[in-house]
Amino acid sequence: DAMVIQNPRYQVTQFGKPVTLSCSQTLNHNVMYWYQQKSSQAPKLLFHYYDKDFNNEADTPDNFQSRRPNTSFCFLDIRSPGLGDAAMYLCATSRYSGEQFFGPGTRLTVL
């Protein structure tokens, strides 16, 4: 089945230790998104890739970076995680401005 896959589902890192979250898709969608969802809050868009073009939201901290080496994969890099970065990170894809399909999320714990 075509889908959006996120690995790992649960990630534990230490304060200040860089961490990378992974997202892959078999839908061949040209747009990939990363959202941050803190406990009991709404998902918040961090950035998206439209094809190879990176689009950052204005209030996304510099601590968050992303890479998209090919159509299928997109990575979220957190350079120096702080306690406030503990959250669920959701990846989504869409074909242009069509419906977004979400992955199951990666829950990040920062110790």
Residues that bind other proteins (CB under 8 A): 4, 6, 31, 33, 40-45, 48, 50, 55, 57, 90, 92, 94, 96-105, 107
Residue 40 Cα to chain centre, angstroms: 18
Straight-line distance from the first to the last Cα atom of the chain, in angstroms, rounded to the nearest whole number: 36
Pairing of strands 106-110, 10-13: parallel
Least distance in angstroms from the C-beta of 10 to other proteins = 10
Q: List helix spans (H) across the chain.
A: none
Least distance in angstroms from the C-beta of 16 to other proteins = 27
Least distance in angstroms from the C-beta of 97 to other proteins = 4
Least distance in angstroms from the C-beta of 6 to other proteins = 8
CA quadruple 10, 6, 101, 68: dihedral positive or negative? positive
Closer residue to other proteins in complex, CB, 27/45:
45
Angle at 42 between CA 98 and CA 94, to 5 degrees: 15
Closer residue to other proteins in complex, CB, 40/70:
40
- Are the CB atoms for 106 and 6 separated by under 8 Å? yes
Closer residue to other proteins in complex, CB, 33/64:
33
Closer residue to other proteins in complex, CB, 59/62:
59
